[in-house]
Amino acid sequence: MPTVTILAEAGADVSAPCTGPYAETPLHWAASGNDVEALDALLDAGADIEAPGAVFGDGTPLADAIGFGQWQAARHLIDRGARTTLRQAAATRLRSSILECFPDAAPPSPDELNAAFWYACHGGQFNAAIYLHGRGADLNWIPAREELTPLDAARRNGAADLVQWLHTLGARSATEPRFPR
């Protein structure tokens, strides 16, 4: 029997937030550590899959899983019912969720679109990146929390085909001058 189950059966609060700068719950910690067994035990014991407190934007456990590049945990949380934002859908290749964010009446803001494109590159999601670029995403947008362009994020995660495609479009690294002299 997993320790989480034993603690939950003894009355432990499986959604208790940490004290300190981030109010992460045990589910956030399991997500950021890519611990699928702990995710299941916590969720089976009633942990709140949508609890705020992530290091990334005070978001849900899914935000931590994606932010830390823990793709197995991210996909598992989605399979277990976690809701996604546009950027999270882009990072995890949820095509239908991406398309839902582009209704005819109110498309995403440029910042949302750029963030989704960056996250698609961070997640190595080539098709999502192509789609979002076609919708007008900025090839060289840098999020406030990172010092990486989409090219840098794709390179960091070993997405060679995506890196090559970004190069053909003229994408730049954050370490390169923004404009040639």
Tell me the two tokens of residue 114: 């750029």
Amino acid present at 76: H
Backbone angles phi, psi at 7, to 5 degrees: -65, -40
Of 5, 54, 3, give the one whose Cα is nearest residue 27.
54
- Of 83, 116, 136, the position where a domain reaches its end is 83
**pLDDT, tens digit (0-9, with 9 covering 90-100), for 1-58:** 678 888 889 999 999 998 888 899 999 999 999 999 999 999 999 999 999 999 888 8
Is the same domain home to 7 and 51? yes
Write out the residue range of the structural domain in which residue 41 sits.
1-83
Task: Count up the domains in the chain and report the number.
Answer: 2
Residue 40: its pLDDT value, please?
96
Q: Specify if 94 maps to a domain.
A: no
Residue 75 shares a structural domain with residue 110: no
**Domain assignment present for 90:** no
pLDDT for 180 beyond 70? no
Domain end marker among 57, 83, 109:
83
pLDDT beyond 50 at 181: no
Out of 83, 118, 152, a domain closes at: 83
What's 134's domain CATH number?
1.25.40.20
93: in domain: no
Instruction: Say what the pLDDT of residue 176 is.
Output: 84
How sure is the predictor about 108, in pLDDT bands with cuts at 50, 70 and 90?
Answer: confident
Same domain, 73 and 105: no
> Which of 137-141's residues contact partners 24+ apart within 8 Å by CB, and which partners?
137/113, 138/110, 138/114, 139/166, 139/169, 139/170, 139/171, 139/172, 140/171, 140/172, 140/178, 141/114, 141/115, 141/117
Tell whether 109 and 179 lie within a shared domain. Answer: yes
Over residues 113-163, the pLDDT tens digits come to: 999 999 999 999 999 999 999 999 999 999 988 899 999 999 998 999 999
- Tell me: pLDDT of 102 over 80: no
Is the model's pLDDT at 109 over the cut of 60?
Answer: yes
> Are 42 and 112 found together in one domain?
no
pLDDT value at residue 105: 60
**DSSP state, 55?**
T
What confidence tens digit (pLDDT) does each residue in 51-98 have? 999 988 889 999 999 999 999 999 999 999 999 888 898 888 777 677
pLDDT score for 1: 66
